[in-house]
Amino acid sequence: MAPTATQAAGSAPVFKTKRPLPFPLNIYQSAIGRKWVMAWTGVGLLGFVIVHMIGNLHLYEGPSRMYEYAETLRDLGGGLLPRTLVLWIMRVGLLGMFLVHLHSAYTLKERSRLASQRAGFIGGAKKYESKRDYIAANYASRTMRWTGPIVGLYVLFHLADLTWGWWLGDAYVRGDPYHNVVESLSSIPVAILYVVANVALAVHIFHGTWSMFQTLGVNNPRYNGLRRNLATVLAGVILVGNLSFPVLVQAGLVDEDNRDCPINDTTGLECLAEAAEAH
Amino acid sequence: MSGTNGQSQHNGQSQHNGQSQHNGQSQQSQSGTLNLTLRIWRQDGPDAKGGFVTFDAPGVSEDMSFLELLDIINERLIDEGGVPIEFDHDCREGICGTCSLMINGRAHGHEVATTTCQLHMRKFSDGDVITVEPFRAKAFPVVRDLVVDRSSFDRIIEAGGYISVNTGAVGDANLTPVPKEASDTSFDAAACIGCGACVAACPNSAAQLFTSAKLAHLNLIPQGQPQRWERTESMVETMEQFFGSCTNHGECTEACPKEISLDFIAFMNRDYVKAKIKNRKLAGQN
């Protein structure tokens, strides 16, 4: 009989236990708790994506309605709170959720990488020497680690493009979102980038929506089938809504022929404000 | 429980194969034998560099189990003076959880709800090339060839996979009512044989399915309630010393020879966060 190597290597922990932090923070120290936080921040970010998509549909009502929508966002809280305060609170909250979502995703990925025998974790999965045969893992679930960063980079571009105006340069008119969107999306490379990023976003949401129910333990065998349906519908609606902007601008169906106001940040904005007032 | 196969076992099995060759083969080819090529992972020890070795397996009976095929190859290897391939096996009737193997990229092979020992060669076709690899995860180091050390699962069980409250003298029968649904679901979870296919199949090397099954098995029934929160926290945190993080692919439940449901993972996720809150209260902190 061949010599058999026996050693208790399997009983050696792969990860060290960290000193527990005080109560709510210790939840984030464990992988399940961290995943739970990732799911909740995912819920928040998904809520933003839905509201953002629906709000952007004002684009189809023309320049003055779009202007009115943007102004409404800045005036949230009515006259009770300083102008743009509520908007800034939401922005900071959103940024916080985004950073926590990112941190939890990255650290959990690292944990899985270290727990797999092969350090080569490219493609986001443990490597076997022979070909793996996936059964349940779908394209969306296996590419979360790629669609996530794609969406993250796209968000940076999106901000530089339509919030900071860096991309459009002189053509950017602060306070005239209709013009900025149409101007930006008229460029073919930008439109392609928006399409690719929003497909990645929809794929990310498809797995994320189903996954968060599982992670948060929202599970009832009677309704479990509905979770996949909800994920499909949500991802589909968000995809169609978000893709409609670059596609319709490129198709020439959304353009600036319908505007009565000039495009500049002085008389143009006054004209838009008057038009919005008249609604 | 790993080991090479004794000579007597082979003799017994080859007779068995001879006798049963023509039974239950209504839909099979006339010959009832297959000519296969196997690519088997061989590794001399935990730190040795391993690699695939190709073996020809002509005239394999369709009634053999996959492990019996390995027995035949080992028998030949021993006859030729070679070192037999080591692989884990024990009961060979699908209930002990000792056999493992990634067969053609799937834990326990491509048959649904089947352990390697219950995977029969009639499920393969003549001329197939079958690749056999050990289960892989950092917490499942290879001992030799196809044998991996799964004692990390024992560490998880030691952390709370039991009930240790004093029960006193024998009570009246049916003194503790158990709802039918609870006992059924608990039993579904208790079907876990701890083979590690879930970890092997998981792209993240996570052991959520195993741990959640062991937790649900006790946490769903009245007898398990006194230690429920302590058990949940302890077993989950022990699991997290060894394994990766779940991303809800669902590969584990597909690979599971006992078809343990993903629902148990959701149950564990819910119970773990609850446990963190409850245990804090139980400890008198607020």
Ordered per-residue pLDDT tens for chain A, 279 residues: 344 444 455 568 889 888 988 888 999 999 999 999 999 999 999 999 999 999 999 999 999 999 999 999 999 988 899 999 999 999 999 999 999 999 999 999 999 999 987 655 666 678 888 888 888 888 899 899 999 999 999 999 999 999 999 999 889 999 999 999 999 999 999 999 999 999 999 999 999 999 999 999 998 888 888 999 999 999 999 999 999 999 999 999 999 888 888 988 889 999 999 998 888
Q: A133 exposed, middle or buried (CB, 10 Å; 0-12, 13-18, 19+)?
A: middle
* Residue B171, pLDDT score: 78
As a whole number of angstroms, the distance between CA B214 and CA B189 comes to 7
Q: Which two tokens stand for residue A91?
A: 């922005």
**Range A177-183 contact pairs with CB under 8 angstroms and sequence separation of 24 or more:** A177/A59, A177/A66, A177/A67, A177/A69, A177/A70, A178/A59, A178/A62, A178/A63, A178/A66, A178/A67, A178/A256, A178/A259, A179/A63, A179/A256, A179/A259, A179/A263, A181/A59, A181/A66, A181/A245, A181/A249, A182/A249, A182/A254, A182/A255, A182/A256
Higher local confidence (pLDDT), B280 or A193: A193
Domains of chain B (ranges, CATH numbers): 31-149 (3.10.20.30), 150-163+179-284 (1.10.1060.10)
A211 touches A158 (CB < 8 A): no
* Residue A152, pLDDT score: 96
Amino acid at B34: L
Query: Would you say residue B86 has pLDDT above 80?
Result: yes
| Nearest chain B Cα distance for residue A48, angstroms | 23
* Residue A11, pLDDT score: 67
A242 phi, psi to nearest 5 deg: -70, -35
Mean pLDDT for B145-168 is 91
Query: Would you say residue B30 has pLDDT above 60?
Result: no
* Yes or no, beta carbons of B273 and A115 under 8 Å apart: no
Provide CB contacts within 8 A for B152, sequence distance 6+.
A10, A11, B139, B140, B207, B242, B243
Question: Is the residue at A20 inside a domain?
Answer: no
In chain B, residues with a C-beta closer than 8 Å to the C-beta of A111 are: 244-245
**Domain tally for chain A?**
1
Which of these ranges, A257-261, B56-60, B61-65, B182-186, has the smallest mean pLDDT? A257-261
Query: Would you say residue B4 has pLDDT above 50?
Result: no
In chain B, residues with a C-beta closer than 8 Å to the C-beta of A11 are: 149, 151-152, 154-155
Question: Is the residue at A267 inside a domain?
Answer: yes
B85 touches B77 (CB < 8 A): yes
Question: Is the residue at A101 inside a domain?
Answer: yes
Of A8, A32, A111, the CB nearest to B151: A8
- Comparing alpha-carbon positions, the chain A residue that sits nearest to B276 is A27
Question: Is the residue at A8 inside a domain?
Answer: no
- Comparing alpha-carbon positions, the chain A residue that sits nearest to B269 is A217
* Residue A246, pLDDT score: 97
* Residue B9, pLDDT score: 38
Query: Would you say residue B28 has pLDDT above 60?
Result: no
Query: Would you say residue B19 has pLDDT above 80?
Result: no
**Three-class secondary structure of residue A60 per DSSP:** helix
Which of these ranges, A20-24, B20-24, B163-167, has the smallest mean pLDDT? B20-24
Confidence of residue B5 (pLDDT cuts 50, 70, 90): very low
* Yes or no, beta carbons of B105 and A132 under 8 Å apart: yes
In a mutational test of the A interface, the residue from B142, B219, B240 whose CB has the highest number of chain A CBs within 10 Å is: B240
| Nearest chain A Cα distance for residue B179, angstroms | 17
- Tell me which residues of chain B, numbers 45 to 64, contact chain A at a CB-CB cutoff of 8 Å: 45-46, 50, 52
* Residue A121, pLDDT score: 62
In a mutational test of the A interface, the residue from B75, B154, B158, B205 whose CB has the highest number of chain A CBs within 10 Å is: B205
* Residue B14, pLDDT score: 39
Confidence of residue B25 (pLDDT cuts 50, 70, 90): very low
In chain B, residues with a C-beta closer than 8 Å to the C-beta of A215 are: 246, 248, 266, 269
Query: Would you say residue B69 has pLDDT above 60?
Result: yes
| Nearest chain B Cα distance for residue A91, angstroms | 28
In a mutational test of the B interface, the residue from A103, A130, A223 whose CB has the highest number of chain B CBs within 10 Å is: A130
Question: Is the residue at A7 inside a domain?
Answer: no
Query: Would you say residue B284 has pLDDT above 80?
Result: no
Question: Is the residue at A12 inside a domain?
Answer: no
As a whole number of angstroms, the distance between CA B144 and CA A196 comes to 47
Confidence of residue B233 (pLDDT cuts 50, 70, 90): very high
- Tell me which residues of chain B, numbers 164 to 203, contact chain A at a CB-CB cutoff of 8 Å: 202-203
* Yes or no, beta carbons of A7 and B46 under 8 Å apart: yes
* Residue B285, pLDDT score: 63
Confidence of residue B103 (pLDDT cuts 50, 70, 90): very high
Name B144's bridge partners. B147
* Residue A3, pLDDT score: 42
As a whole number of angstroms, the distance between CA A88 and CA A72 comes to 13
* Yes or no, beta carbons of A217 and B110 under 8 Å apart: no
Alpha helices per DSSP H over chain A:
23-29, 31-56, 63-74, 85-115, 139-142, 144-158, 177-185, 188-216, 224-250, 267-278
Query: Would you say residue B272 has pLDDT above 70?
Result: yes
In chain B, residues with a C-beta closer than 8 Å to the C-beta of A15 are: 240-242
Residue whose pair of structure tokens reads 């139980």 in the numeric block: B282
In chain B, residues with a C-beta closer than 8 Å to the C-beta of A213 are: 266
Query: Would you say residue B26 has pLDDT above 50?
Result: no
In chain A, residues with a C-beta closer than 8 Å to the C-beta of B251 are: 134-137
> Whole-number mean pLDDT of chain B?
88
* Residue A119, pLDDT score: 57
- CATH of residue A110's domain is 1.20.1300
* Residue B8, pLDDT score: 37
* Residue A23, pLDDT score: 84
* Yes or no, beta carbons of A112 and B204 under 8 Å apart: yes
In chain B, residues with a C-beta closer than 8 Å to the C-beta of A26 are: 276
Residue whose pair of structure tokens reads 């990255």 in the numeric block: A106
- Comparing alpha-carbon positions, the chain A residue that sits nearest to B243 is A115
pLDDT tens, B200-215?
999 999 999 999 999 9
**Three-class secondary structure of residue A213 per DSSP:** helix
Question: Is the residue at A125 inside a domain?
Answer: yes
* B76: contact with A, CB 8 A cutoff: no
Of B150, B203, B250, the CB nearest to A126: B203
Of A11, A15, A116, the CB nearest to B151: A11
* Yes or no, beta carbons of B131 and A131 under 8 Å apart: yes
In chain A, residues with a C-beta closer than 8 Å to the C-beta of B136 are: 116-118, 126, 128
In chain B, residues with a C-beta closer than 8 Å to the C-beta of A133 are: 104-106, 110
ipTM of the modeled complex: 0.89
Question: Is the residue at A16 inside a domain?
Answer: no
pLDDT tens, B241-257?
999 999 999 999 999 99
Of A126, A141, A217, the CB nearest to B270: A217
Neighbours of A103 (CB within 10 A): 15
What is the residue range of A190's domain? 28-271
- Find, among B163, B159, B248, B160, the residue nearest to B209 by Cα: B248
* Residue A79, pLDDT score: 82
Mean pLDDT for B96-117 is 95
What whole-number percentage of chain B has pLDDT above 90? 79
* Yes or no, beta carbons of A112 and B247 under 8 Å apart: yes
Residue A217 region, left (φ>0) first, then alpha (ψ -120 to 50), else beta?
left
